Structure 1
Amino acid sequence: MANPSIYNVPNALTTVRFALAIAVMVLIPMGEFWASLCVFLIAVSTDWMDGYWARKYGQVTKLGRIFDPFVDKIIICGTFIALVEVPDSPVKSWMATIVVGRELLVTSLRGIIEGAGGDFSARWLGKWKMVVQSAAAAAVLLSFVVEPLPSWLSITTLVLLWGAIFITLYSGAEYTLIAARLMQSDPQPPGERE
């Protein structure tokens, strides 16, 4: 059976999400927080569509398997980095560094393991990490546009932000331990794909 063409709907959807991610990173420094919030929410809420379509219609490609998680990382990492430079932002540079560092670490480990023929599939914790990070970024953007800022939104934003940092660190540690075990023994499937 022939490999599916890379010119398909799932890869087109991923390309659109990539463009949306770039738009978010442009809009935040411009102070267009309502627009950046809307674009960000569209980008993260449509994340499931390309994967669902690819699996349902047999359009999974090697490009898609690489491009889709790459775009996920651009959306989250780019947004956190852009939020750092906003005056009075609760997102600090060390927080963005943790988010970016975790993604670089896990991507590097996946490349090593799968390059050697092992299986370093993503786990459910990786999905929850993306959800909490997205919620935190959205809450921060929302806090920039709601005036006066209600105390419940301020507290919710901080809770989500710290939760995102915690789950980012925890999932990074989990993947590191999995990689260490796989490197010491025969590769075993660690979980479902993200």
Structure 2
Amino acid sequence: MTMTSDMRSPSRSVYNVPNALTTVRFGLAIGVMVLIPMGMQFAALVLFVIAVSTDWMDGYWARKYGQVTKFGRIFDPFVDKIIICGTFIALVEVVGSGVASWMATTIVARELLVTSLRGMIEGSGGDFSANQLGKWKMVLQCAAAITILLSLLYPATVWLGYLGQTFLWSAIALTIYSGYVYVIAAAGVLRKDVS
């Protein structure tokens, strides 16, 4: 008996494990944004760590079991941005966090810019995949958020405060620089398309 092409092809339903995991991470992101202004930094820290540490799981599962969907390709990076941007926006109003409004605005602006450029270029058939700078930017942003939350939990531990601010300023610098690199790369792709 031969298998039909439908039986051989991987599932493309949006109701699958990777999208369910991403939905859970979205819920965790909302929880972090709610808990930080309430002063519940420990709970926010736990949710944040779970959310960012399980980020790879949905992508891994989708690729391994052929459950990559258009919805997932949009929803997963969207949730990543909600986790990071939402956390830094929430930290702005927390006294002692060291996160200024312009810092949160810079992070959000960079994500919006790169997302817009990626949509425009990939929509026209070009390739605008994430680079290593973007990945290191995410690592520094996560490290900054975690250490800042820890420093708020343990204000007497001075070195945690210094470490949090070091990660924060490093993350902001790399956020700006990686955004600049993406803009230059996008300009190069667009010039090729015109020519």
Same fold (TM over 0.5): yes
Alignment partner, residue 191 of structure 1: none
1:171 pairs with one of 167, 175, 178 = 178
- For structure 2, list consecutive stretches of 5 or more residues without a partner in the other structure: 1-8
Q: Deviations over 1:108-157 (max 9, x none)?
A: 10111111111111112111111110110111111111141x22212111
Alignment partner, residue 88 of structure 2: 80
Identity among equivalent pairs (%): 68
Bigger RCO (CA 8 Å, 6+ sep): 1
* 2:103 matches 1:95: yes
- For structure 1, list consecutive stretches of 5 or more residues without a partner in the other structure: 188-194
Q: What is the identity, as a one-letter code, of the residue corresponding to 1:140?
A: I
User: Runs of 4 or more off by more than 4 Å in structure 1?
Assistant: none
1:91 match: secondary structure: coil
* 2:70 matches 1:38: no
Q: Deviations over 1:162-184 (max 9, x none)?
A: 11001101110010000000000
Q: What is the identity, as a one-letter code, of the residue corresponding to 2:17?
A: V
Separation in structure 2 between the aligned mates of residue 147 and residue 162 of structure 1, nearest angstrom = 19
State TM-score, norm by structure 1. Answer: 0.93
Separation in structure 2 between the aligned mates of residue 160 and residue 185 of structure 1, nearest angstrom = 37
Alignment partner, residue 151 of structure 2: 143
Separation in structure 2 between the aligned mates of residue 167 and residue 59 of structure 1, nearest angstrom = 33
Q: How many residues align?
A: 186
State TM-score, norm by structure 2. Answer: 0.92
Alignment partner, residue 122 of structure 1: 130
Separation in structure 2 between the aligned mates of residue 66 and residue 115 of structure 1, nearest angstrom = 13
1:21 pairs with one of 3, 23, 29 = 29
Residue 186 of structure 1 deviates from its aligned partner by: 4.2
Tell me how large the CA RMSD over aligned residues is. 1.3
